[in-house]
Structure 1
């Protein structure tokens, strides 16, 4: 029984490592490709920093960044809106008010 638990924990940990590895690979590709695209599309060699205000340069990083954000949320699962601290405060508030019977 203990061996089965250990194997389950190992599989979960391995899956988690693979998910994080995938995110970091995605992030690395995002940085490298977008820096490369900005340098090429801005015509940096001829124009210098004069062309960097062109909004067309930032379409790919913006939309890819949105996808990268959702990948981050999927992998690291931050509960931004309803965090553990919020849950604990809400539970204590409901208990303090004594309104626990209203919810069942």
Structure 2
């Protein structure tokens, strides 16, 4: 995916999250393990959010592979340690398609 397309999807995801009561804490947090697209906070719970876009929901959600998820978790652990966080947290996804934005809670289940 091009950086421009990725930025557009992340902007849409941030707007969606903000409209639904999430505070955006950080975007594009990098560690040596990988990147987390959006870190958001709602009701004292940190949400580590992976943003995927595609022509339809299925083509986007299936791009979150077990390897990708493992990198997200390791990167989140780095963030938690670095920020000395003791919040509860979850790993979520926002799927952006031309016609919709879908929030998927707890993608680790």
- Structure with the bigger RCO (C-alpha within 8 Å, sep 6+) is 1
Q: TM-score, normalised by structure 2?
A: 0.28
* Greater percentage in helix: 1
Larger Rg: 1
